Amino acid sequence: MNRLRTAVTAGATAALLLTACGGADEPTGGSTPTGSRGSAVTPERCRANEAAGTITYVTGFQYQASASILDPIAARALGYFDDLCLDVEIQPGTGETAQNAQLVAAGTAQISSIAGNGDVLVNVANGVDVQAVAMFGHVPVATLMTEPGTTDLKQLEGTTLGQKGALPVTIEAMLRAAGVDLSKITQVVVGYDPTVLVRGQVQSLTGYKSNEPLTLAAKGEEVTQWNPEDFGVPGSMATTIVDPGFLAEHRGAVEDFLRAQLKAYAYCGEHAAECVADAAALSQAGYDTDHNVQVWQTEDRLVRDSLPAGQVLGQIDETTVRTEGDFLVRMGQIPAVPDLSQVVVADLVPSLYDDGGSLVWPVP
């Protein structure tokens, strides 16, 4: 139905389910748990949260220090989930948003990070039943990199573009808005080594503002970033999706998951290195802590700089999602904007804050 996201085959889905069922190691990083079991909730709410069982959270990509990845990791390491009587298992995602959405829709995972609202709408348009409850950045995080010699995107016709398995929604929209004939670009799947661009193996490369450009800059390589928002493409980053059935049955647990995540987000804003150490403890050898501190600081800046006046951190609203949806329809990427009242749970995050805009903690 939609050419931006390839459906996962039955075999691949089964493999994903097995992966998601595997346990994640306990963090042994820099954070010291605070409080005690149930210290931030009433006994009644504690029992209700415990009744929700283990909440499996799938990250957007591995244990990278991105918004909606680092903050849940820190929330567990700091003991915030425990303070709310939540049992949370964090599983590393592969970076393919369709897989995360399918795991949540299947009930194998209850909550997950996904790249942005556009990815939610694409998956819903493809029949995947998920709901969006939070969003952290009001700007696309995706970028397209080229060598400095490229001064017009139409120059990419007749060249090779490297992507990670699917062309990001906002990047395709940007290229089409710039008048590029996508049929004249050869797309190849590449890994996460951005030097394929500077070595000339591809002439353009999709990536994230908070990742590949930082890696290349550290190597002294100069590239040009083409950002969707500069072409009028609306976008978002770090959207949180849930299993609708789980939300209906355990809304309080979902609220408190996000409450702990938001509290940890604020903590990581002041203690980036400590939070990154928690993520490093979950990862395998080779985790670049210095790079990941930069990842977090870059995304935190994108999130805070794009927060609309009058909104609280993490808030998602139907107007923003509709703007993205209308654009995707105009670009032919989804057939129609779905009924957003069934997709977006706009009142959840605002309910976690008091009238002064402060996160409510502990829970009354």
Helix and strand numbers, DSSP H then E, in the chain: 15, 10
pLDDT of res. 23 = 41
Distance CA 233, CA 61 (A): 23
Residues 107 and 51 in one domain: yes
Q: What SS3 state is found at 224?
A: strand
Q: Which of 175, 203, 231 is the last residue of a domain?
A: 231
Quote the number of domains for the chain: 2
User: How confident is the model over 204-261, as pLDDT tens digits?
Assistant: 999 999 999 999 999 999 999 999 999 988 999 999 999 999 999 999 999 999 999 9
CB 323, CB 234: distance < 8 Å: yes
CA distance 228 to 302: 14
Q: pLDDT by residue (tens digit) across 38-86?
A: 999 999 999 999 999 999 999 998 999 999 999 999 999 999 999 999 9
Q: Are residues 245 and 126 in the same domain?
A: yes
Q: What percentage of the chain carries pLDDT values higher than 70?
A: 91
Q: Does one domain contain both 127 and 147? A: no
Say if residue 147 is in the same domain as residue 132: no
Cβ burial 173-203 (10 Å sphere, 16+ → b, else e) = bbbbbeebeeeebeeeebeeebebbbeeebb
Rounded-to-5 percentages of helix, strand, coil across the chain:
45, 15, 40
What is the full DSSP assignment across 238-259?
EEEEE-HHHHHH-HHHHHHHHH
Report yes or no on 216 lying in a domain.
Answer: yes
Domain boundary among 201, 231, 261: 231
Together in a domain, 265 and 217: no
* pLDDT at site 29: 64
Predicted TM-score of the model (pTM): 0.85
- Residue 43 located in a structural domain: yes
* Domain shared by 174 and 154, yes or no: yes
Instruction: Give the pLDDT confidence of 258-289 residue by residue, as tens digits.
Output: 999 999 999 999 999 999 999 999 997 789 99
pLDDT for 16 equals 39
pLDDT above 90 (res 11):
no
Q: Are residues 263 and 310 in the same domain?
A: yes
Mean pLDDT of the chain: 90
Residue 346 and residue 263 in one domain: yes
Return the CA Rg of the chain.
Answer: 20
Range of the domain at 58: 10-139+236-352
Q: Sort strands 237-242 and 131-137 into parallel, antiparallel or unpaired.
A: antiparallel
Last residue in a domain, options 231, 249, 284: 231
246 and 184 in a common domain: no
CATH at 168: 3.40.190.10
What span, in angstroms and rounded, lies between the C-alpha atoms of 147 and 155?
11
Tell me the two tokens of residue 158.
């007749």
223: amino acid identity, one letter: V
